[in-house]
Amino acid sequence: MTRTTSFALVLLLMCAYFGYNRYYVYPQQLETQAKSMLIQMANREEWMDVFEMMNSVEAHKGHLELVADVTSSDGKRAYSEGFITYTDREGVVCKQVVFNFKINSLKNYSISDLRDCSYGEYY
């Protein structure tokens, strides 16, 4: 292998690595943070008792569904749409939320739109 070929191969591998991080790993990390933020919101906004909910889910007495779709990010804040649904024998709690949050923060979020989908259809 010549030096030019080796250099081109190393350059190609570096581009592939950075592309993989930017377009695959980073969006997954933001989605995980958005799901964590949904649980944090449920606790702080008092939609449900999160500690009791987590114990119930671990004991297979309740079902938790989290969906968070990060629509955009500007590097400091991420903008997301999602819903949190918790079902147990006592009833259903369902909230559809449009929110943004500071990346790598657990408390810094802002809710743009909130809809209670406990009694109606949701998508």
The residues spanned by each domain of the chain are 3-116
Band of pLDDT at residue 120, cut at 50, 70 and 90: low
Amino acid making up residue 54: M
Cβ neighbours for 71, distance < 8 A, ≥ 6 positions apart: 79, 80, 81
The closest alpha carbon to 64, from 39, 86, 37, belongs to 86
pLDDT at 123: 46
Rg (CA), the chain: 20
Strand ranges in the chain using DSSP code E only, listed in sequence order = 62-73, 77-88, 91-102, 109-116
Q: What is the pLDDT of residues 34-86, one digit of tens each?
A: 999 999 999 999 998 899 999 999 999 999 999 999 999 998 999 999 999 99
Residues 2-47 pLDDT 10s: 889 999 999 999 999 999 999 999 999 999 999 999 999 999 999 9
pLDDT 10s digits, 92-119: 999 999 999 999 987 899 999 999 988 7
Q: What does the alpha-carbon distance between residue 102 and residue 74 come to, in Å, rounded to a whole number? A: 10
